[in-house]
Structure 1
Amino acid sequence: MPRVLRPRAKGLALLAAAVLAAAPAGAQPRAPHLRPAETSDEGGIWALSEKAELAARQSSERNRDPALNAYVTGVVAKLAPEYQGDIRVYVMDRPFFNAQMAPNGYGEVWSGLLLRVQSEDELAFVLGHEVGHFAENHSIESFRTLKARLGATMALQFAVAAVAMGAAVNAGSTQGANDIMRAAGALNDLLYLGQLAAYFGYSRENEVEADGLGFKRAVAAGYDPAAGATLWRALIAETGASSFKRVRDQEARANIFSTHPVSADRVKALDDLAAKTPTKARATDRKAYRAVIRPHLAAWLKDDLRRRDYGQSLALIDRLAAEGEDQGLLTFYRAEAYRQRRGEGDLDLARKAYAQAGTYPDAPIAAWRSLGDLALQAGDRPAAKSAYETYLARAPQAQDRWLVEASLKKLSEGSAT
């Protein structure tokens, strides 16, 4: 049996190596205002992208604030003036750091990204990266590469199965036939994983290229060359603060399914680009960016807490608070993070944070309600009574007024006895 299989296995291995090394030629940079033929593979992808765009446009998660959307669209226009009308970006209220762009120019920017970006310069780097993917047709390249490799891999898998079946029939024993089929299955698994490794490695090249292209576009538009590395460092720090070990470890772990470069390497590459670029950018205006996203801060922070990664949320809140703005709102959501996490000492930290939030003029009214609940839970009846009374005075039409009044009544009765 081994003498029968070795020549065939060697031939299959050589054929597999040839297939995995092969890759179609990259697509040419896209010309503005052109639409592919409907019968082409790119035309098919455009059709699917248009369906996805329609779903995004009608989605309940789409943020329809005209000012916010105009701001994002304006940044794209500065980065890619030649693609005016070709690119349409939708802001989606989803609490994760993500931006993406389809081949037909439909793109999304998620609220989790806008919450973590702290200046127009940082946003420009991310959007420039996505424009780079679009301009260089990376999604079309990836599709053609995957299509070619999947087809070749499937053919090889059928060939392996056929050879193995023939060898098993002539094996002379049930055990020998089983061994042959197991070996064939293992080879097919290796072919499949090898194809995936090659495909995702190719995608990593696209990511590195898109970083460089985005950097060039951002600098050409007058943005800070250091913004990309600054943003990525903040994301690394936030990842390191995660409540979950698997998240904390992910930036240091490279595997064949990771399409983005390891972040430390990405930061170094961006730092090197910035060091070689004369700094002629305007001063970063963080206050102007904060003004654009301020109407959405509360909703986005509330959504972020729904991820239940309180370590990351607290790190994000600390970074936002370092700007010295929105202190009441941010301190309130810091208290919310402690209250929801409920680790050792967290409820005491939450109570202190609610009280601190109340010292700022922009504190949400709910801070006094939550402070009253925690004070009551801690047995501090005078503090609970004071917080509840403040809450009712500030929110006389509150829907839960009757509940708070009932709690105040019990507190008063307790004091009388």
Structure 2
Amino acid sequence: MIEKKDVALERAVLIGIITKDQDEEKSKEYLDELEFLTFTAGGYAVKRFTQKMEMPNSKTFIGTGKMEDVREFIEANNISTAIFDDELSAAQERNISKILNVKVLDRTNLILDIFAQRAQTSYARTQVELAQCEYLLPRLRGMWTHLERQKGGIGMRGPGETEIETDRRIVRDKIALLKSRIKTIDKQMAVQRGNRGKMVRVALVGYTNVGKSTLMNVISKSDVFAENKLFATLDTTVRKVVIQNLPFLLSDTVGFIRKLPTQLVDSFKSTLDEVREADLLLHVVDISHPNFEEHIASVEKILGEIDSSDKPTIMVFNKIDAYQQEPIDEDDLATERTEKHYSLEEWKSTWMSKVGNNALFISALNKKNLEEFKKRVYDEVRDIHVTRFPYNHFLYPDYEEED
């Protein structure tokens, strides 16, 4: 649980379900992530509610009895927000709002809110606004409690249109405008990428909050914003990095997450052009997270969606300083030894051994094993560079450790 440190944080309840596709352990893990998302957005999760169901209730997501429990808790504990772990339909959101009489958000809405807070450049803000408009469009009906026709008057006689139809037209026009603006910026960014010449491009990719920006700061000696919150980085940052005398471009990209809203995947695909055009990917993984393997799968899925899964990749297992194996009682014969009991050395002998020298174990924060990391990156970038400019091979000798 995240500790409450700020009394001004918005008080919220979290609501999820347990199904045949999402068992109790998986549901808890998703709610843990939802709690971190809530904290990142400026909220505090007071309580969680879960219910076992075959499938979500089409009208209220959870059953009426559980919904009544949620309503009573909200009224008794001064709760201002109810956050659901899955995307709600427009009808579900409308029905739940009437019952609970508080602000109702789903996971998608929450992530969009965080993205809106974190967007720094006009490009990122435009992408977020487009995603918000596309999310909003089918939900406009729930925002109106009245659907009477607009008042008459000069120019308003005849059939007219309802306020919701007017708003839908406004939002559709806004979506078209934002898409046009993004298309223009994309062309400008493509020109900028083309102007960088033939330098080798390396991109940091990975799940959100795995330490990509911290690693970027360490090896590029830049000052990219990094903190222990989800989506600390939204805008792609590109820096020229020199290891020994070998220069290359390093980009830090937006982190991925499970159940990433479709609107955001579509809106931010253009931002991920840095990944598409990279010569080498550094897939950063938080090995201290108990479910880092699922995080890897989520990232690989999105890389596949943007046609980048076949690129040369180095797996960088970060935060080894925070890794803790769960102790096992040797006298308790009933306890089964699982992956959570593995030491780092034991992990290295699992499927990771097949990755070979493309699996590195570091701590970007404590700068542990960074020499090994730099050498591996140098060797890979040098090979790409020499292939591209064979007459320059004598400029880049074998890596020598720094004093």
TM-score (norm 2): 0.25
Q: Which has the higher contact order (CA 8 A, sep 6+)?
A: 1
Q: Which has the larger radius of gyration?
A: 1
TM-score (norm 1): 0.25
- Structure with the larger helix share: 1
| Higher normalized strand content (fraction of residues) | 2
